[in-house]
Amino acid sequence: MKRTAIVFVLLLIFYDISAAIREVKLRFIETSDIHGNYFPYNFIDQHEWGGSLARVCNFVQGEREIYGENLILIDNGDILQGQPSAYYYNYIDTASIHIAADMMNYMKYDIGNMGNHDVETGHTVYDRWIRQCNFPVLGANIIRTSDESTYLKPYHIIQRDGIKIAVLGMITPAIPAWLSENLWKGLRFEDMEATARKWIKIIREKESPDIIVGVFHSGKDASTMMDKYRENASAEVARNVSGFDFVLMGHDHRRACEKILNADGDSILIIDPASNGRLVACVDVVLTLDDKVVEKKNITGRLIDIDTYEPSKEFMQRFNTQYDIVKNFVSRKIGSFTETINTRPAYFGSSAFIDFIHTLQLQLTGAEISFAAPLSFDATIYKGDVKVSDMFNLYKYENMLYTMMLSGTEIKGYLEESYALWSNYMKSPSDHLLLLTKKEGDDGRCTFTNFSFNFDSASGIIYTVDVTKPAGEKVTILSMADRTPFEMNKMYKVALNSYRGNGGGELLTKGAGIPVEQLKDRIIASTDKDLRFYLMKYIEEKKVLSPQPMNHWMFVPIQWAVPAARRDSVCLFGEN
């Protein structure tokens, strides 16, 4: 009997210990920078393509069968802008539930976060989307100026399987550098690191969570814009502010998955699924608990290739009506072109593509000079019927059109800064004409060293760009387009988009030398609708157009520039 009792007692002790110690497995899935890619179809180029929420949905459905409620689905912003599917429900059908909210609710997202391109849609659009989401949209560093409260919920608590999870959301604070204030009226965007320090302290003291997750619509590698905004500060915050278990990144469209050390010497996972739903970030958290106390955490991350998944049949059936509506919208004919236009020539001289935009900007504003850049790296609008879909190739973003007052000196400085971003300092005829970086691999192809959407050219003035001169000394303005003199001390009316007018690309601040706080004072007019709207109306009114280059500028010396342009075109785009 004694021996039996001892065995029984030991079994009870073992049972108590094993019952007290348990393991919890959680899976976090992050999407980011979907940019309206809801369906596995490119409504701009009108063909099937990869990524999409439809494919993500298929992946998530399979994961939920394994993890159940222990799967947490998070979106990290920039979901409201990009494809015409977003544009249609932003500005055309404003009565229906927004397609992004409808889809995210269907997929049972747990949390959303604000992105800069979500803010770009304007209060009416993103406020409507936020109201219609069945989950919180976060933004700890978005402050309401009227009472200093947070405009959105700063963090959210999720309870799963006895585990308390705190998720802190933030956005890149550089919104004022890109977007006109009417889009974010009544708001302020605070520094991410200062905001993280404030809320980590509050979360720890008030919530005592088992896990703290950062969801930052901000890329990995920090830089300072306009001497005041820390853009892409995610890794910096994770490194400098102790307390995060892992950080979900976005905004910069660059895939990342690595561990870094924070100020306490702890290893922190940072992960970024790039854009368009081609990848998702997958973070596995395994916790060992002893009597409800977390004794051990194991956190691993990986990027999942969503292109290997078929679109969810249930998803496509559920949103088939919206798919058909958007497809019909983009297929509507608005006019015709007698010539094919492409962005490629815009990098080597005056081009029909960019000069078409210049022409409209000058006509709409009555300005004397226009600035514009190729917003898509390699876009084509073919001769023949022009449809609504072509407008998203012609003009990629929902920018307003500004008219600003700039002096001749400021205009030259602006252009010097622009051409310093994309033209090389040629020392010999065999050098590159443009600033290029070799792509990985052995095919000899290149890419631009800097972003091509900052490569502004001008119309309304005649000028040359000497590639044998260093940055800051390349541009020579010969005259106005009508051959009257161009004067350095004269003030001119200049047409440019709102992104540039607010300081985007720093051509006005670094180049023209205008302090960022003075940019507002230079704006004398702004459209109330985006440039794409006016381009569509212009084509509808003219019906048939023959876009031609105006030949207002060129690279010199010609004997160096022309053969170098041929070589660089092959390097960028392959054999023509």
| Domain-located, residue 63 | yes
CATH code: domain of residue 485: 3.90.780.10
Domain end (from 274, 294, 326): 326
Task: Supply the pLDDT for residue 13.
Answer: 46
Mean pLDDT by 10 residues, the chain (576 residues): 52 51 95 98 94 98 96 98 96 96 98 97 97 98 97 97 96 92 94 97 97 97 84 94 97 96 94 97 95 88 98 98 98 96 96 96 97 94 95 90 98 98 97 92 83 96 98 98 97 96 94 94 93 94 95 98 96 84
Amino acid at 390: D
User: Does residue 217 contact residue 208 with C-beta atoms inside 8 Å?
Assistant: no
Range of the domain at 357: 333-573
Q: Is 506 helix (H, G, I), strand (E, B) or coil?
A: helix
Beta-ladder partners of 169: 215
Amino acid at 492: Y
User: Does residue 138 contact residue 167 with C-beta atoms inside 8 Å?
Assistant: yes
Q: How confident is the model over 214-238, as pLDDT tens digits? A: 999 999 998 887 778 888 999 999 9
Give the Cα separation of 299 and 23 in Å (integer).
13
Q: How confident is the model over 113-137, as pLDDT tens digits? A: 999 999 999 999 999 999 999 999 9
Residue whose structure tokens are 């010497």? 265
Together in a domain, 225 and 342 = no
Together in a domain, 420 and 281 = no
- What region does 292 belong to: left with phi over 0, alpha with psi -120 to 50, or beta? left
Q: 123-132 and 99-106 helices cross at what angle (nearest 10)?
A: 20
Q: Is 182 helix (H, G, I), strand (E, B) or coil?
A: helix
| Domain-located, residue 487 | yes
What pTM did the predictor assign? Answer: 0.89
Together in a domain, 185 and 62 = yes
Longest dimension (CA), the chain: 115
State the DSSP H helix or E strand holding residue 19, giving kind and residue range, or none if neither: helix 2-20
Domain end (from 275, 295, 326): 326
Together in a domain, 223 and 359 = no
Together in a domain, 219 and 240 = yes
| Domain-located, residue 5 | no
| Domain-located, residue 8 | no
Give the Cα separation of 30 and 109 in Å (integer).
10
DSSP strand pairing (142-144 vs 187-189): antiparallel
**CA-wise closest residue to 135 among 175, 174, 93, 102:** 102
| Domain-located, residue 9 | no
| Domain-located, residue 550 | yes
Sign of CA dihedral 474, 571, 37, 353: positive
Residue whose structure tokens are 């006019």? 335
Together in a domain, 99 and 151 = yes
| Domain-located, residue 194 | yes
Domain end (from 307, 326, 345): 326
State the DSSP H helix or E strand holding residue 314, giving kind and residue range, or none if neither: helix 313-318
Sorted by sequence, the CB contacts under 8 Å of residue 432 that are 6+ apart come out as: 424, 426, 564, 567, 568, 571
Together in a domain, 416 and 279 = no
Q: Is 98 helix (H, G, I), strand (E, B) or coil?
A: coil
CATH code: domain of residue 250: 3.60.21.10
User: Does residue 281 contact residue 59 with C-beta atoms inside 8 Å?
Assistant: no
Together in a domain, 351 and 316 = no
Give the Cα separation of 411 and 495 in Å (integer).
12
Give the Cα separation of 419 and 432 in Å (integer).
14
Give the Cα separation of 528 and 476 in Å (integer).
35
Together in a domain, 397 and 489 = yes
CA 217 vs CA 124, 135, 174, 387: distances in Å: 21, 17, 11, 33
Together in a domain, 202 and 347 = no
HEC string of 105-128 equals HHCCCCEEECCHHHHCCCHHHHHH
User: Does residue 402 contact residue 496 with C-beta atoms inside 8 Å?
Assistant: yes
Q: Residue 458 CB: number of other CB atoms within 10 A?
A: 25
- The domain tally of the chain equals 2
Task: Supply the pLDDT for residue 441.
Answer: 67
First to last CA, the chain: 93
Structure tokens at 498: 């709102």
| Domain-located, residue 466 | yes
Together in a domain, 515 and 385 = yes
Task: Supply the pLDDT for residue 292.
Answer: 77
Together in a domain, 396 and 457 = yes
Structure tokens at 202: 């509050």
**CA-wise closest residue to 153 among 141, 165, 164:** 141
